[in-house]
């Protein structure tokens, strides 16, 4: 009986090794696939970080441009008010028949 048991243990070990090899191969294959995926995602992350930095830079420039535009519009409104006041003064002084 020992002989029979030894043979079946040998077959079980052989089948176990084959199964273990298959499992290890599958794990290794999956791991390689995941490593490639991580590399691709890392590259995509770097690209997105670069785009984000560019977008932030552009946003800051646009913010500065918007502030400058608001300042110029305020100056324009002030100049327009002043010109209108000067024109009104000129019209009042040039009214015919109002000379004293």
Q: What is the pLDDT of residues 14-61, one digit of tens each?
A: 666 678 999 999 999 999 999 999 999 999 999 999 999 999 999 888
Q: Which helix (H) or strand (E) holds 15?
A: helix 2-93
Q: Which two tokens stand for residue 5?
A: 């048991």
pLDDT for residue 93: 87
| Residue with more model confidence, 6 or 44 | 44
Reference 64, options 72, 53, 76, 74; nearest CA is: 72
Look at residue 1 and tell me whether its pLDDT is greater than 70. no
Q: Is 64 exposed, middle or buried (0-12, 13-18, 19+ CB in 10 A)?
A: exposed
């Amino acid at each position: 009986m020992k002989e029979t048991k030894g043979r079946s243990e040998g077959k079980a070990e052989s089948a176990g090794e084959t199964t273990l090899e298959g499992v290890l191969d599958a794990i290794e294959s999956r791991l390689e696939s995941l490593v490639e995926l991580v590399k691709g995602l890392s590259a995509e992350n770097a690209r997105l970080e670069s785009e984000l930095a560019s977008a932030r830079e552009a946003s800051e420039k646009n913010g500065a441009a918007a502030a400058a535009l608001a300042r110029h519009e305020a100056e324009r409104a002030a100049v327009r008010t002043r010109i209108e006041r000067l024109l009104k003064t000129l019209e009042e002084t040039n009214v015919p028949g109002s000379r004293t």
